[in-house]
Structure 1
Amino acid sequence: MKKIITSDKAPAPIGPYNQAILAGNTLYVSGQIPFDAASGNLINGSIEEETHQVMKNLRFILEEAGMDFSSVVKCSIFIKNMDDFGKINEAYGSYFGDDAPARETVEVARLPKDVNVEISCIAVN
């Protein structure tokens, strides 16, 4: 069984995909960028501010599926500059306690809307 999960608090998809898909008890959340759906603005301040906005967007989608960050088992982080790794890691880590998920972090040449960070996740209920 597959169910589309959508939160109006998170950015709408900019292509042929959904914010998240719930398959059984596993939620697959599409990559989120630092876009504030409430204001309609891209957050382009410090890398910490951008990362916090990405994490807020992930939280909105997780909540729509009845989950939270404790449900997350895997994250993928895509960053434009590996020199930002420490700052992104600090902001990202503040959303998880000792029960942090598995993850990878990859430097990429370019991200949608030329943002500096994009994060996707997988969660289980």
Structure 2
Amino acid sequence: MEIVKSSKIPPANGHYSPCIKSNGMLYLSGQLPIDPATRKVPAGIEAQTDLCLQHVELILEEAGCSKTDVVQMRLYISDIDLWGKVNERYAKFFGDHKPVRSILPTRELHFGCLIEIEAVAELPE
């Protein structure tokens, strides 16, 4: 098992690793839409979804993967009514690649965020 760290995303504040390589797989902790430069959360679900997906992509690249290596995504949203807009941004990000996915409506997310995204990817051989 190897912890993957990235200087391009906000550091983990809790007792967890942002990303771990294990047995040919890459596991990404939930990514919140926090801008690493300002430490602020952008307004609106579209901007927040895009920022979470950018964080995912940066970590994937740091670990030697790309978004086409993603096999599973889990998206937590604070309101089920956001599903349509989230799905639109998600589809634009992935294009033809369709990893398995769950969208889970939750109650409030940390820092008032509207979305949090975690991922699992297969490491290239």
TM-score bucket (shorter structure):
over 0.9
Corresponding residue number in structure 1 for 2:54 = 56
5+ residue gaps, structure 1 = none
* TM-score normalized with structure 2 length: 0.94
Q: CA deviation at 1:103?
A: 0.6
Q: Residue 73 of structure 1: which of 54, 60, 71 is its match?
A: 71
Corresponding residue number in structure 2 for 1:6 = 5
Task: State the alpha-carbon separation in 2 of the partners of residues 89 and 118 from structure 1.
Answer: 14
* 8 A Cα contact 1:20 1:27, kept in partner: yes
Q: Residue 84 of structure 1: which of 62, 65, 82 is its match?
A: 82
Q: Which residue type is aligned with residue 83 of structure 1?
A: D
* TM-score normalized with structure 1 length: 0.94
Deviations 1:34-61 (A, max 9, x none): 0011232222x12100100000111111
Corresponding residue number in structure 1 for 2:38 = 39
CA RMSD of aligned residues (A): 0.9
Corresponding residue number in structure 2 for 1:124 = 122
Q: How many residues align?
A: 123
Task: Considering fraction of residues, name the structure with more strand.
Answer: 1
Task: State the alpha-carbon separation in 1 of the partners of residues 23 and 69 from structure 2.
Answer: 14
Corresponding residue number in structure 1 for 2:22 = 23
Q: Which residue type is aligned with residue 77 of structure 1?
A: L
Q: CA deviation at 1:110?
A: 1.6
Deviations 1:1-50 (A, max 9, x none): x000111111111200011000021000000010011232222x121001
Task: State the alpha-carbon separation in 1 of the partners of residues 58 and 32 from structure 2.
Answer: 13
Task: State the alpha-carbon separation in 2 of the partners of residues 122 and 90 from structure 1.
Answer: 21
Aligned-partner SS, 1:9: coil
Task: State the alpha-carbon separation in 2 of the partners of residues 113 and 40 from structure 1.
Answer: 11
Q: CA deviation at 1:99?
A: 2.0
Q: CA deviation at 1:68?
A: 1.1
